[in-house]
Amino acid sequence: MPMDPLGVTVQISAASYQKTLAESLHSAGMLRQAIDLVPYLEIREPDGDRHLEKVKDFPAYTLAKRIVWGLWRRLPGRMRPRPPASATVWLADRLVANWIAPARIFHGCTALCLSSLREAKRLGAITLVEHAASHPREWKRVEKQECRRFGVKRLDGSGNQPERLLRRMEQEFEACDRIVVPSGVAQESFAGYGYGKKTVVVPTGVDAEFFSPGPAAERPATFRVCYVGRLELAKGVGYLLEAWKRLGLGRAELLLVGEVKPQVKSLLKQYRDSGIRLAGVLPPGEVASCYRESNLLVLPSPIEGLAQVLLEAMASGLAVVATDRTGAKDCMRNGKEGLQVPARNVDALAEAILWCYQQPEETRAMGKAARVRIESEFTLKDYNQRVIRLYRSLAGGSAGEVAG
């Protein structure tokens, strides 16, 4: 296979939208190294015969990580410290940094690439850090706001990152040439912390074959509203529960799919008689079924990047109601593929859900339009192509111009 002079080293995380990126770069002759971060830490390189070959793995790291996290999970809840993420990401990064090969582009994942990107930059690479959400300090600020708003003292949501991990991410943002974010609202959050000119928006994509519409008969006779994501205050769950109870819809169900954080357990008890069903954490196949068997996805978050569940639901032919802080503006048009509402506005959220309940044909039409939008702009292939265009654009200038 002819090699493109624009060589790329890329870290592949657990993000579902990245799962075909390394193969796409390899097909284009651009890949120098793929650094897999999950489920195992390993490095793959082209073997010259149209394949990617594992050239290095780190079994000692895998064992150490398993032991550390296993011990942490066995501690009683009240005695359990913060998750040991800071230590494990530091170790993974230090190990990988010793194996970074020269390339024109280094594309890392936030919190996991500080040493690696410094080494890549030393070797002459243009360095990118991908962050799939809003700025981490903004996320933490919003979580604190939401906990105060609902009178909750437990800051156990995903946004309450340890200070050590936040500082590490900020060092990456300072060291890299570009920060890749998935939406305008994420870029806006980074601008608030002084990184507006450094960020570049690259919307993600979704596996449109895995998440796809089912037969029309699968839609329930009951009006089913689906929420998918962690059940925590920074995701807007409190507003959704209040809006749902206020509506009191007949023959309707609110299905909540995802991990229940302790901070919302008392809140859920208050609304348990409001037609709510908790599904817990489900494997991807069952999540896809939930989309197909629902009438509407609602995402009430006051902060996101570009919520992947929006793309998954839209790919499944489902209309969505989402706030203006979820990245919805980057993937859907208000009134075409779904409805957008102001964040933290229970009245507007309830009104949008009620409209979909009362207008079933129009809601189904929005779901069909959502599927078309995904097929035309937000598949995994679309994401890969956007990333490649970014690489070529950055490599067109000098490293000094990019850094400036």
> Which pLDDT tens digit goes with each residue over 349-376?
999 999 999 999 999 999 999 999 999 9
> What pLDDT was estimated at residue 3?
62
State which of 65-69, 149-153, 261-265, 332-336 shows the largest mean pLDDT. Answer: 332-336
CA atoms in the 13 A half-sphere facing the CB of 274: 19
**Distance in angstroms (rounded) separating the CA atoms of residues 234 and 176:** 28
Categorize the per-residue pLDDT at 239 as very low, low, confident or very high, splitting at 50, 70 and 90.
Answer: very high
N-to-C CA span, the chain:
35
**Residue 403 pLDDT exceeds 50:** no
Determine what percent of the chain is predicted with pLDDT higher than 70.
Answer: 93
Categorize the per-residue pLDDT at 70 as very low, low, confident or very high, splitting at 50, 70 and 90.
Answer: confident
Give me 255's structure tokens: 């299905």
Give me 71's structure tokens: 């011990």
> What pLDDT was estimated at residue 272?
84
State which of 86-90, 153-157, 311-315 shows the largest mean pLDDT. Answer: 311-315
Alpha-carbon separation of residue 332 from 26, 218, 299 (angstroms)? 31, 24, 13
> What pLDDT was estimated at residue 218?
61
Give me 302's structure tokens: 């006051």
> What pLDDT was estimated at residue 88?
87
Radius of gyration, alpha carbons of the chain: 22
Which has the closest alpha carbon to 361: 244, 219, 183, 201?
A: 219
Which has the closest alpha carbon to 299: 272, 284, 279, 319?
A: 319
**Distance in angstroms (rounded) separating the CA atoms of residues 370 and 352:** 17
> What pLDDT was estimated at residue 399?
41
**Residue 220 pLDDT exceeds 70:** no
**Distance in angstroms (rounded) separating the CA atoms of residues 203 and 382:** 9
Mean pLDDT of all residues belonging to the chain: 92
* Range in 77-91, 227-241, 263-277, 340-354 with the lowest mean pLDDT: 77-91
> What pLDDT was estimated at residue 77?
67
Domains defined for the chain, CATH in brackets? 8-205+380-403 (3.40.50), 216-377 (3.40.50.2000)
Which has the closest alpha carbon to 237: 265, 217, 211?
A: 265
Give me 300's structure tokens: 């009430």
Contact yes or no for 142/302 (Cβ under 8 A): yes
Task: For 218, list phi and psi in degrees, rounded to 5.
Answer: -70, -20
Contact yes or no for 116/106 (Cβ under 8 A): yes
Categorize the per-residue pLDDT at 389 as very low, low, confident or very high, splitting at 50, 70 and 90.
Answer: very high
> What pLDDT was estimated at residue 104?
96
DSSP-derived pairing of the beta strands 42-46 and 31-36: antiparallel
CA dihedral 233, 234, 237, 238 (to 10 degrees): 50
**Residue 187 pLDDT exceeds 50:** yes
**Residue 303 pLDDT exceeds 60:** yes
Categorize the per-residue pLDDT at 404 as very low, low, confident or very high, splitting at 50, 70 and 90.
Answer: very low
> What pLDDT was estimated at residue 83?
72
Give me 364's structure tokens: 């189904």
**Distance in angstroms (rounded) separating the CA atoms of residues 90 and 100:** 16
> What pLDDT was estimated at residue 78?
64
* Range in 67-71, 140-144, 222-226, 266-270 with the lowest mean pLDDT: 67-71
> What pLDDT was estimated at residue 79?
63
> What pLDDT was estimated at residue 217?
56
Determine what percent of the chain is predicted with pLDDT higher than 90.
Answer: 81
For residues 220 and 95, which has the higher predicted lDDT (pLDDT)?
A: 95
Contact yes or no for 356/319 (Cβ under 8 A): yes
> What pLDDT was estimated at residue 119?
98
Categorize the per-residue pLDDT at 123 as very low, low, confident or very high, splitting at 50, 70 and 90.
Answer: very high
Categorize the per-residue pLDDT at 258 as very low, low, confident or very high, splitting at 50, 70 and 90.
Answer: very high
Which has the closest alpha carbon to 127: 149, 154, 100?
A: 100
**Distance in angstroms (rounded) separating the CA atoms of residues 119 and 84:** 25
**Distance in angstroms (rounded) separating the CA atoms of residues 303 and 185:** 9
Categorize the per-residue pLDDT at 94 as very low, low, confident or very high, splitting at 50, 70 and 90.
Answer: very high
Categorize the per-residue pLDDT at 246 as very low, low, confident or very high, splitting at 50, 70 and 90.
Answer: very high
What's the rounded mean pLDDT across residues 368-391? 98
**Residue 72 pLDDT exceeds 80:** no
Provide the edge-to-edge strand list for the sheet that holds 296-299: 276-280, 252-257, 223-228, 296-299, 319-323, 338-341
**Residue 398 pLDDT exceeds 60:** no
For residues 158 and 98, which has the higher predicted lDDT (pLDDT)?
A: 98
Residue 29 CB contacts under 8 Å (≥ 6 apart), including other chains: 1, 2, 3, 4
